[in-house]
Amino acid sequence: MFAKLRSKNKIIHTRARFFAPSVVDGENMKIGGLLKFSLIDYPGKMAAVVFTQGCNFRCPYCHNSELVEPEYFCDPIPEDTVLDFLEKRIGQIEGLVVTGGEPTLQKDLIGFLTKVKDIGFPVKLDTNGSNPDVLREILKLNLVDYIAMDIKAPLEKYVQLTDLKDCAERVQKSIQIILDSDLTHEFRTTLAAPVVPVEDLPKMVSLIEGTKKYRLQRFIPRDNILNKELLEGIPENFSEEEVAGFQSVWGIGGN
């Protein structure tokens, strides 16, 4: 069984298998998709993108249900297949993006990142910030070169939005770990009216005081989002012009 996975302007087919949404079992990475070439996922670099399976958040506007909900998973792409691909692309691509799902749920994430770095590729990690201990260890070992962390909402709204209890404190710790590091990073927020109203932006900006980059992105309605009821609110969704305006006021650094 194949499932379609969309990454911005690309569609690829993935295989995955079932596992608990908050814990990824097994020693190898559970990779649900591989985008062989991207110019938009790693700022300033031509990169491949690995999509990991499983997420502990249930954001209603998420459009990667194939990587979040176990009933949509198919067999994973073997880790060795990805590593072999990277070996053959030395000199052709400039880095690897590891995204999800939520990559920090993967038990072999550190082992996988070590292998990628041994091949010689810079790594960008996308995370929701729910596992600060894993993030701290990754930074300690110098296994990533760029981190992008989602700011979903003000801290007091995290449980309501993500359906995960006790995550706000962990998210706050991850923010501070990133801010205290010398690593190139960005924070970003998906604006999905009315789930993430613009009135929340001042609180979210205050969480990341000191960052050099905060990017706002527009929610794009798709049929495969987690909460189908959100599609009924499409007329209320922010326009591209509105999001650009919010970026000019609340965003930090280049978009």
pLDDT value at residue 173: 97
CA 244 to the chain's CA centroid: 21
What is the per-residue pLDDT for 7? Answer: 36
* Fold of the domain built from segment(s) 3-250: TIM Barrel (3.20.20)
CA atoms within 13 A on the CB side of 232: 3
Amino acid at the residue 72: Y
CA-nearest of 91, 117, 201, 224 to 125 is 117
Query: What stretches of the chain adopt beta strand conformation (E)?
Result: 3-7, 10-14, 31-38, 47-52, 95-99, 123-127, 146-150, 184-191, 214-218
Nearest partner of 31 among 91, 61, 74, 64, judged by Cα: 74
Residue 19 banded pLDDT, cuts 50, 70, 90: very low
Mean pLDDT taken over the chain: 85
26: confidence class by pLDDT, cuts 50, 70, 90: low
